[in-house]
Structure 1
Amino acid sequence: MKWGFSFLSLAVLVSGCANVSEINESLPTMNVISGKKPHEYAQCLSEKLAGSRGALQIQPHKDGLRVIVPLKFSSGPSAVFDIEERSGGSSIKLHESMSNVPVRPKDVQNAATECISG
């Protein structure tokens, strides 16, 4: 248990050093298509993550939006959504700073999945 806590603490500290371009260089943890337009999907993410994260940064990006999710307990980005408009909806790519850590918080992944349809 002590080692697990130490590892998780180290992972949180290291992930705080990542910036948006470093996070975007990692392989996407989700790559899906939604029937929602980029602004609708971004609004859904904002609502779903309001209780567990700070304010999301929503920026114009290519043919859609980029949504930057802050870390849970410190400053800096935790995840980046690239949401591009396509006919009938959006294509969505999620990149996470701790994508290779199996015990990372799942609130971002859960919100991403819940916002795909509906």
Structure 2
Amino acid sequence: MKLAVVILALAMTGCASVADIEHTPPTMSVMSGKSPQEYADCFVARITDSRNPPQIEPHREGMRVIVPQKFTHGTPTAIVDIEKRSGGSSIKLFESGGNNPLRPKDIQHAVNACISGE
């Protein structure tokens, strides 16, 4: 029975593309005193403990970090847009299944941990 619930949950989340994820409302929207590069470096260092390395690419006035799913390689589960602002960065987190309370919280924890000058 538990296996059926897990399979159903995975089927409901599906395989989202970057375009699908970026058209969802942001799960988080925060500011940091770090530059986009400093913030991206911190986030990547924290997230690689629980996932495969994310893809980093230039985006607008900053960077975009595309985070893969935990168990499938190459399928995105979240996007972190980091844009340059005076005195730091603006960070927006977009997640596939962002309204699912049972989703892993490792991405949100990494986003929060890198906000301040840690």
* TM-score, with length taken from structure 2: 0.91
CA distance in 1, matches of 2:50, 2:22: 22
Asked if residue 50 in structure 1 is aligned to residue 76 in structure 2, the reply is: no
Counterpart residue type for residue 20 of structure 2: E
The alignment's C-alpha RMSD in Å is: 1.5
SS state at 1:44 partner:
helix
- Report how far residue 100 of structure 1 moved: 1.4
SS state at 2:57 partner:
strand
Asked if residue 107 in structure 1 is aligned to residue 85 in structure 2, the reply is: no
Q: Any runs of at least 4 consecutive aligned residues in structure 1 with deviations exceeding 2 A, and if so which?
A: 5-16
Aligned to 1:81: 80
Matches within 5 A, 1:1-118: 2=1, 6-75=4-73, 76-118=75-117
SS state at 1:101 partner:
coil
SS state at 1:85 partner:
strand
Q: Is the 8 A contact 1:16 1:77 kept in 2?
A: no
- Report how far residue 98 of structure 1 moved: 1.5
CA distance in 2, matches of 1:98, 1:54: 19
- Report how far residue 21 of structure 1 moved: 0.8
5+ long unaligned stretches in structure 2: none
- Report how far residue 26 of structure 1 moved: 0.6
- Report how far residue 14 of structure 1 moved: 4.2
C-alpha change, 1:28 and 1:7, in structure 2 (3 Å) is farther
Identity score, percent: 53
Counterpart residue type for residue 11 of structure 1: A
